[in-house]
Amino acid sequence: MRLNAIVAGVGLTKFGKHLERSQKWLAGEAARMAIADAGLQVADIEAAYVGNCAAGIVTGQESIRGQVVLCELGLRSIPILNIENACGSSATAINQACAMVSAGYHDVVLVVGFEKLYHVDKAISYAAFAGAVDVEERDRFIAEHATPQPGADGKPRSLFTDFYGVLARAYMAKHGAGVEHFAMVAAKNSFHGSLNPNAQFTNAMTVEEVLAQPVVADPLTRPMVCPLADGGSAVVVVSERKARQMGIRQPVRVLASVVRSYFDHPADAAENVTSIAIAEAYHDAGVAPADLNLVELHDSSAVTELLTYEHLQLAKPEDCLRLLVDGDTRLGGRIPVNTSGGLLRKGHPVGATGLAQVAEITLQLQQRAGKRQVAGAKVGLCHNGGGNIRGEVAAMNITILSR
């Protein structure tokens, strides 16, 4: 499907621990920044799509999340639609916004993602992830993936932490990887994050420093697993006609926006939700993996970044480690990955993550990324998946943008 959608403006709050900030501030601040970045006024917004995942659990806000967080923005009585789709909530929101703009229903749409995950009671923060699996099979999921860890202190943690450990051990057995390879991913992303003022952690780490941190899920140390975060992200999407009317000088076109969901299939099936979504996105965008200049991918752990190299066909499966070791995915390399610092350093405010990826690619394509700028960037891809059903991602979002 050819999309008629242009990213006209982006807005991001700093990601991190914002116990003193409300969810209205996180969403509203990002929205105001995106509208101003587009050179528009609040009155120009014709509809809003709002992505959020965990407000109901962490803050108690259900049902009318978007209406609540945007009520002080000064919007008219426009349609505000709430999107919840695991970690891909705001990526799904921009998918719907692009579809409506392309269909001619709206010319100017605001898309917002927000999440307030930090809570004085960490058990509540981590409870937000407990519903991102099939709750009827949750006990089995825990039994299959939870294993005692060195130095375990019994403190609450994400349901997925041990799952990443299982993935890491399987990856090591299959590809001959060592824990130092996972440390290289974390160190690379820490370097990128050190150049991003909106990242939660802006200190660059060496491989040795990453390896020296406490193990959280054997063999993964703390910097190899993404942290919680509060944050807001926003994008203004306009039609091509509106973009011409606005005289946008550096239009960023949404070439493809694909949302796919888990489906029941044999574990060894050739196709799965991830492969189908990626193939569809490349087809819709009319590009191949070799055409990409940069990628923002869902590095919920260091091993998931390496696995995604393979899924996105950035290299043959047997060459993905070499892609990392040779520096191809580092700034200055052939295909920089997670120039924002990724989830590992930027943090993972679940509902805001997908749009944050779109914002990073947009800034890169418009040559506005400062010290982390990828020279000559023309095409970028966002990979954003969330939830888990039977060991596989439940919701997969792929977005491809170009200038």
Tens of pLDDT, residues 62-115: 999 999 999 999 999 999 999 999 999 999 999 999 999 999 999 999 999 999
230-266 residue pLDDT tens: 999 999 999 999 999 999 988 999 999 999 999 999 9
pLDDT at 270 over 60: yes
Amino acid in position 345 = R
Residue 87 annotated among the catalytic residues of the structure: yes
The residue annotated as part of the active site, out of 87, 98, 320, 382, is: 87
How confident is the model over 385-392, as a mean pLDDT?
A: 95
For residues 287, 290, 293, 295, the Cα torsion angle rounded to the nearest 10 degrees is: 80
CB 322 within 8 A of CB 88: no
Catalytic residue among 311, 348, 382, 383: 348
Mean pLDDT of the chain: 95
Question: What is the rounded average pLDDT of the residues 11-15?
Answer: 98
283 catalytically annotated = no
Q: Whole-prediction pTM value?
A: 0.96
Residue whose tokens read 């960037």 = 377
- 3-class DSSP assignment, residue 181: helix
* pLDDT tens profile 336-367: 999 999 999 999 999 999 999 999 999 999 99
In CATH, which of 3.40.50.1820, 3.50.50.60, 3.40.47.10, 3.40.50.2000 is domain 6-119+228-402?
3.40.47.10
CB-based contacts of 332, cutoff 8 Å, min separation 6: none
Under 8 Å between Cβ of 386 and 393: yes
Check residue 150 and give its pLDDT. 45
**178 pLDDT exceeds 80?**
yes
